[in-house]
Structure 1
Amino acid sequence: MTVRLRSHHLLCLLTYIGEGYSAAFVANYDVIAKRLGRGEDILIVSGPDDICQPLLGGAEPHCLRESAAGRDELAARDVGKLLTRPIRAGVRFSLDAATLAGLRAAFAAGVTREACQGCEWAGLCSTVAAGGYRDVRL
């Protein structure tokens, strides 16, 4: 199987500790983290992805807003530079331990954080990164 992710969720996954918008959102995110932990591939998509699914039934889901698309662009640019490969819709890859460690180191150093500006979760993510990624689910 393949996990469909939008670009900025590559950053969100790094600090996911089981917090989210709703119980359904967290349950879904936990399943995705487990799938990725088992080595499933990632397919980069444009717009809402597998993580967004529980939110799409609500009124005006933020997953459809321009701010989310802007975060995708910034994350794709920064993660692409770090991984020395383009990150755009249609790209497939997997997160091995070395790639995940490199992404986390860059995130903690602020190298890939421009996409996080204005995000309501940025403070929590900073705390998780500063704490050495303790209790992350991926």
Structure 2
Amino acid sequence: MTVRLRAHHLLCLLTYVGKGYSPAFTANYDKVVGRLGKGEAVLIVSGPDDICAAMIDDPEPHCLRESAAERDRLAARDVGALLGRPIEAGEPLVLDASSLARMRAAFSSGQTRQACSGCEWSDLCGAVAAGGFHDTRL
């Protein structure tokens, strides 16, 4: 199987420590991270993905807002430049130890954090990065 991810979730995964919007969201996120940890490949998608699945039925899911799409655009640009390959809908990607290490280093330095501007989780993610990504689940 393949994990479907929108581009900005490539950044969110780097600092995921088990906190989320709701218990259902966190439980779903844990399942997605577990699949990735077992080596499942990623397929970049446009719009809601496997992480969004737990919130898509909310009355006004933020994953459908333009701000999420803009985060995707910025993350795709920055992660693509970092990895030297396109990050766009339909592109497969493997998140191996080497690519995760490169992505975390770039995240820590701020190189790939433009997509995080205005995100309510930005402070938490910054603290996780500053702490060396301890207790992250991926």
| TM-score band, normalised by shorter chain | over 0.9
Alignment map for 1:1-138 (pairs within 5 Å): 1-138=1-138
Q: What's the Cα RMSD here?
A: 0.3
Aligned length: 138
Q: Please report how far the alpha carbon of residue 56 of structure 1 lies from its aligned counterpart in structure 2 after TM superposition.
A: 0.7
3-state SS in 2 of match to 1:103: helix
Percent identity, aligned pairs only, is 68
Q: Please report how far the alpha carbon of residue 7 of structure 1 lies from its aligned counterpart in structure 2 after TM superposition.
A: 0.1
Q: Please report how far the alpha carbon of residue 12 of structure 1 lies from its aligned counterpart in structure 2 after TM superposition.
A: 0.1
In structure 2, give the amino acid aligned to 1:35: R
- TM-score of the pair, normalised by structure 1: 0.99
3-state SS in 2 of match to 1:123: helix
In structure 2, give the amino acid aligned to 1:32: V
Unaligned ranges ≥5, structure 2: none
Unaligned ranges ≥5, structure 1: none
In structure 1, give the amino acid aligned to 2:56: L
Q: Please report how far the alpha carbon of residue 71 of structure 1 lies from its aligned counterpart in structure 2 after TM superposition.
A: 0.2
